[in-house]
Structure 1
Amino acid sequence: MIRVLLVDDQKLVRAGFRSILEDEDDISVVGEASDGMEALRLARDLEPDVVLMDVQMPEVDGLEATRRIGADPRLAHVKVIILTTFDLDDYVYAALRAGASGFLLKDIEPLEMLHGVRVVARGDALLAPSVTRRLISEFAAHGKNPDPSPRLNVLTAREREVMTVVAEGLSNTEIAERFFLSTATVKTHVSRIMTKLDVRDRAQLVIIAYESAMITPGRRA
């Protein structure tokens, strides 16, 4: 059972999400919060698998709440999905830096939400190519200068190739098709990359890839 915590300052939004999620046999909504501080408290009390986190909320916003969850060793297993809109692209890069595992648009179809929750719950990052392209644009717009990092020297040539397309937002299946590998082999590569770079989440590989100039605005791998 995937345990979900809903965080949004609009009660109607939470009710809509709860209705969608609780229709599924493998998903349970264990709590609701209307601001970031309450979200942090409930995350510690309820230990959900996934937190659906709105960004703009009173008191403590979603970014700060995500940052605090990511910094708490007791919540190392908790995955945060940021609820966003195309009007909130400024938050995308900051949310990944804060430890978010992915993003969902508030106006997505119910099946997409369910897929997103399941993807993140099993440990994958929810980074669709469309969101990744926006992330790259955000990266460029804020003048962040890519700097090749010596930490990447621990990766093999194949692992660097795989990490580059992870940063494009490709799924394991899509990566397997691009490189003519099995999905299991790709999953092994991604797991080894995360271990070597000491990151807890696939989404953090995206940040490293951008900051290390593995992928830059306007260029695909």
Structure 2
Amino acid sequence: MIRVLLADDEAMVRAGVAAILAADGGIEVVAEAADGHEAVEQVRLTRPDVALLDIRMPRLDGLAAAREIRSVRPETAVVMLTTFGEDAYIGTALGDGASGFLLKSGDPRELIAGVRAVAEGAAFLSPKVAKRVLTQLSGGAQLSRSAKAKERVAGLTEREREVLALVGSGLSNADIAKRLHVVEGTVKAYVSTILGRLGARNRVQAAITAYEAGLV
């Protein structure tokens, strides 16, 4: 069972998201919070697998809450709930270790897929969010970023590029292992090496490099 903390200052949004997650028999919302401080405390108390955080919340916003959660409980994967008007926050959240980005107005199936993916150790970017992430990070220099990403990826072995492409597609280590017919420990070693060679802090940053390099 995947245990989820849901934090949003709007009660109706929390109710809607909780209802969607409840439709999946393998996901349980174990705690809810109306602000960032409460979210951090609930993580300490309930030790969830995934913290689903709204970016804009009172007292402590989602970005600050994500940093504290990653500090007090690194095992809890953080997913940010965003709207199209919050692109400017995405780069900051990436640097703070968020494992996924989902749109509040997105397909409910993406919400479930995203929670499952990050719980299994993968990165997950809603397709619409992924496109906007690249645009926001590029600052109008997408061609330059693409060239730099391709240069970094060129330093990987063929197998490492294959693994990176699968990371960019949102697959967990277990899924990648099945796809490549290897043990999960081998995939973990590949991912660790890839992160180091790319200078990526986490799987989301590696996934973005895979997008920019055209591997996904």
Change (3 A) 1:95 1:46: same
Q: Take 2:6 and 2:94, find their aligned partners in 1: how far apart are those partners?
A: 19
Per-residue deviation at 1:170? 2.2
2:34 and 2:57 in contact (8 A); partners too = yes
Do the aligned residues in 1 keep the contact of 2:102 with 2:129 (CA within 8 Å)? no
Distance 1:129 1:21, change over 3 A: closer
- In structure 2, the partner of 1:195 is 192
- What is the CA distance between 1:120 and its match in structure 2? 1.5
Larger displacement relative to structure 2 (81-90 or 127-136) = 127-136
**CA RMSD across the alignment:** 3.3
Could you tell me which runs of 5 or more consecutive residues in structure 2 were left unpaired when the two chains were aligned.
none
SS across alignment from 1:220: coil
Cα displacement (A) at 1:87 = 1.3
**Does the Cα contact within 8 Å between 1:155 and 1:193 map onto a contact in 2?**
no
Work out the number of aligned pairs and report it: 202
Counterparts of 1:104 and 1:190, CA distance in 2: 26
Number of the residue aligned with 1:103: 101
1:75-96 per-residue CA deviation (whole Å, 9 max, x = no partner) reads 1210111100111111222111
Structure 1 pair 154/200, CA: closer, same or farther in 2 (3 Å)? Answer: same
Q: 3-state DSSP class of the match of 1:89?
A: helix
**Mapped partners of 2:17, 2:141: distance in 1:** 36
My pick for the range that moved more, 1-10 or 154-163, is 154-163
Q: Counterpart of 2:189 in 1: which secondary structure?
A: helix
Which letter maps to 1:98? D
Tell me if the contact between 1:7 and 1:32 (Cα under 8 Å) persists in the aligned partners: yes
Matched, 1:183 2:179: yes
1:170 aligns with 2:169: yes
TM-score by structure 2 length? 0.77
Secondary structure at 1:15's aligned position in 2?
Answer: helix
1:205 aligned partner, one-letter code: A
Per-residue Cα deviation, 1:159-202 (whole angstroms, up to 9, x for no partner)? 14542x357x42449xx9xxxx9713588675333322367842
Cα deviation, residue 137, structure 1: 1.5
TM-score by length of 1: 0.75
Equivalents in 2 of 1:16, 1:162: separation in Å?
35
| Counterpart residue number, 2:45 | 45
2:136 equivalent in structure 1: 138
What's 2:20 paired with? 20
- 2: distance between equivalents of 1:193 and 1:95? 25
Q: For residue 220 of structure 1, what is the amino acid of its counterpart? A: G
Question: How many percent of aligned residue pairs carry the same amino acid?
Answer: 41
CA distance in 2, matches of 1:185, 1:34: 44
Aligned CA distance change for structure 1 residues 153 and 192 (closer, same or farther; 3 Å) = farther
Give the C-alpha shift of residue 108 in structure 1: 2.0
In 2, Cα distance between equivalents of 1:142 and 1:62:
27
Q: Which runs of 5+ in 1 are unaligned?
A: none
Asked if 1:84 is matched to 2:85, the reply is no
Listed one character per residue, the Cα deviations across residues 133-158 of structure 1 (whole Å, up to 9, x for unaligned) are: 2222111218899678xx98985343
CA 1:121–1:36: 2 relative to 1, 3 Å: same
My pick for the range that moved more, 154-163 or 102-111, is 154-163
User: Matched residue of 2:60: which SS?
Assistant: coil
